[in-house]
Amino acid sequence: MAAVLRPSRQLNHLRWPEFTHMNSYWDPVQNVEVVRILAGEYYATHRHEMITTVLGSCISVCIRDRIANIGGMNHFMLPMEREGRENSGAHGLSADAAYGSYAMERLVNCILKYGGCRREQLEIKIFGGGRIMNGMADIGLQNIAFIRAYLRTEGLTLAAEDVGGDCPRRMAYFPATGKALVKRLRNIRNETIVQQETAYLANLRREATQGGEVELFGDFTHGRR
C-alpha cells in the first residue's frame, strides 16, 4: 500500500536564493523533505533533504563538500553545450542546462560558493547513462564518456558510480551525508521514459535551430561498478 504523503513543510525561506522556486514534498518513510529534479535542473542544499530523479540515458552527478556537509545533484541529457550561444533563462532552466558542461559548471560553482572548500575536497558520484533508446545513437555512452573526461580534466576524484546498462534508474541522494540510493527499473514503465527522453531530445534539437527555451519533462545501489 502506498504511503500517504502529508503536505510539504515548504521551508523555502531556509533555502539558498537560487532554489526558493523548487517544489518539494514530505516523505514519511525516509522522514525527510524531498526535492525532485527533472532534466535540465539542479539542486543544492545545506539542509537534511533528499534529492530524487529518474534517469534513462541522462546522467546525474552528485557532488558533496565533505567538510561542510552540503551538496547537490544535477540531471543532464547531452554532453556538450552548444558554442556561440549565451545562457538564458532563470535558475538554469534554459536549454543550456540540459548539457553536461553547463550543468557541471553550475553545480560545482554553487557548492564551492556556499561551502568554501577546495575542489579536491569534493566527493563525486555519478549515475545513469543507460542505453534505453533502440535505433538511436547511444546517448548514454556519450554522457558517461563526457563526465569521466570532465572529472579527469578538472582533477576531481570519482568516489562511486552506477552507470551504463540497458534499464532506467530511479535514484535518491542525501547531500548532508553523501548517501546515494539507486533502483534499476527493469521493465517498469520503460516505454514512458523512452518517450519522455525522445521528446525532450527533439525539443533540444528544435531549440538549437530556432532559439528560445525548451519545456522540461518530467530508490538504489552504492559504490563503483
pLDDT digit string, tens, across residues 80-96: 755 544 443 333 344 56
pLDDT digit string, tens, across residues 8-27: 555 666 899 999 999 999 99
Mean per-residue pLDDT over the chain, rounded: 79
* CB-CB contact of 150 with 74 (8 Å): no
Task: Please spell the DSSP secondary structure of 107-129, one letter per residue.
Answer: HHHHHHHHH---GGGEEEEEEE-
Phi first, then psi, for residue 74 (nearest 5°) are -120, 180
- Using a pLDDT cut of 90, give the percent of the chain over it: 54
* CB-CB contact of 91 with 43 (8 Å): no
Q: What is the mean pLDDT of residues 130-136?
A: 72
Residue numbers annotated as active site: 58
Question: Strand ranges (DSSP E) for the chain?
Answer: 25-27, 32-36, 42-45, 49-55, 59-65, 70-74, 122-128, 158-163, 169-174, 179-184
Confidence of residue 225 (pLDDT cuts 50, 70, 90): very low
Tell me which of 92 and 145 has the higher pLDDT: 145
